[in-house]
Amino acid sequence: MVTILGVLLILLPQLAISQSTSPLKSLKLNSGFGIRKHPLTGRETFHSGIDLAARRDTVFCFLAGKVIAISYSKGLGIHLTIAHSGELKTVYGHLSLVFLTPGDTVELGQPLGITGASGKVTGEHLHFEVRYQSVPLNPVQFLYRLNFGSAGPNPTLFFWNHDKRTSGSLTYKEAAPAS
């Protein structure tokens, strides 16, 4: 089983997560990672990323890497995939415009495109995924690491508290100490 903590411990020296940036200037979580009630079908499904509120916003490269795919699907609409070191990939979905082509090398914080409402959506937003060996990981954990870094709270002592059926901001709550 792939855990986010295990991936972070293995990849942090290679990835320099502290040398990452947010995919959008402002982060407001519309839909979390994991099992959720799909907003269009009403069925419980697995959501392999997070949806961030956006309106014609510039999307930025979270980690330096190489564009390996720009494609369209009914679900994600126009989306691009970037490969990073250590078998890590990020996916940016529901775009309206992409500034790159496959094979381009991208730098930290480089503009990638513009958010949109392409694909199966209820409105404009950015779908953001982090995958390790093709397994989806909770991107919130990576954004947590970005915001708190190694000087911040120990990520193993915190969990994200978010109602997946409503909009809200990213919040965290200290886990109860083990007895």
**In a domain? residue 27:** yes
**In a domain? residue 46:** yes
Q: How far is CA 97 from CA 58, 92, 114, 118, in A?
A: 10, 11, 5, 10
CATH of the domain at 22: 2.70.70.10
**In a domain? residue 48:** yes
Domain count, the chain: 1
Task: pLDDT tens for the chain, 179 residues: list them.
Answer: 455 555 554 454 444 444 567 898 888 888 888 887 777 777 788 888 999 999 999 999 988 999 999 999 998 999 999 999 878 899 999 999 999 999 999 998 999 999 999 988 888 999 999 998 888 888 888 777 666 554 444 333 223 333 333 333 333 333 334 44
Domain that residue 72 falls in: 18-140
- pTM (predicted TM-score): 0.74
**In a domain? residue 80:** yes
**In a domain? residue 136:** yes
**87 backbone dihedrals φ, ψ, rounded to 5°:** 65, 25
